[in-house]
Amino acid sequence: MWKTTAVGLVMLAGLAVTGCATEDYVNQHVATVQTQVTDLAGHQKDQDTHLGQLDQTTQDALSRADAAGKLAEGKFVYSMVMSDDSAHFPINGSTLSADETARLTDFVNRLKSDNKNVYLEIQGYTDATGSTAGNLRLGQDRAEAVRRFLSEQGVALNRMSTISYGEDHPVAPNNTHAGRAQNRRVVVVVLD
C-alpha cells in the first residue's frame, strides 16, 4: 500500500508540475500576445493622428484652392478670336495676314484706351488634321506670331503669355471645311 501511495503521490506531483508548466507557458504566450496588442493599439493611435494631419492638410489645400478660385473670379475682361473664317493664316503657317495685323492694331488701340495694366493670354488652336505634336507646334507658332506683333505695337512682353492647345478644345466639328476653319484660331484673352 505504501508503494501505491508513493506512486500516487509521484503522479500527483507530476501533474502539479505539468500544470504549473502549462500555466507558465500560457502566461508567457498571453504576455507576448498582450504586448503585440498594445503595440498595435499604439500603431493605430499613430495612424489616426497621421490621418487627422492628412485630413487637415487636405482641408487646407481645399481652402487655398477655393480662395484662388474666388480670386480669379471676375478677372476675365474680354477676348478677341482670330479664326480662319475671319483672318487667314497660311496652311501650316503662322505668318500674319494684312487683315490680321489690322485687327490686332485695332485691338492694341483698344487696350491702350481701356487699361494698360491688363495681362494677355494668347491661345493657339488648330484643326484636327496633322499630327498632335505638329498641331501643338503650329498652335504655338501662331500664338507667338501674335505676341511678337503685339510687342512691336508697344504691349509689354511681361504682360503676355502664349499657350498652344493644338487640336484640343474644338469649337466646331472637324469633319467639314467650315468647322476646321473655325477651329484654326488664335484667341487673345484679356485678364485684369
Which of 117, 124, 118, 126 lies closest to 78, judged by CA?
A: 118
Q: Which three cell numbers stand for residue 154?
A: 508697344
What's the pLDDT at 75? 73
What's the pLDDT at 15? 52
What's the pLDDT at 136? 93
Domain that includes residue 144, residue range = 75-191
Whether residues 5 and 25 share a domain: the answer is yes
Whether residues 34 and 98 share a domain: the answer is no
Whether residues 169 and 81 share a domain: the answer is yes
* Three-state secondary structure string covering 108-169: HHHHHHHCCCCEEEEEEECCCCCCHHHHHHHHHHHHHHHHHHHHHCCCCHHHEEEEEEECCC
Q: Count structural domains, the chain.
A: 2
Cβ count within 10 A of residue 183 = 23
Domain boundary among 53, 73, 93: 73
Whether residues 7 and 79 share a domain: the answer is no
Whether residues 93 and 181 share a domain: the answer is yes
Question: For each of the chain's 192 residues, which pLDDT tens digit applies?
Answer: 655 655 555 565 555 555 555 667 667 766 776 787 787 777 788 877 777 776 777 776 666 655 545 444 547 677 777 766 555 666 677 878 888 888 899 988 888 887 667 888 999 998 888 899 999 999 999 999 999 999 999 888 888 999 999 999 888 898 988 888 888 889 998 887
Domain boundary among 13, 40, 73: 73
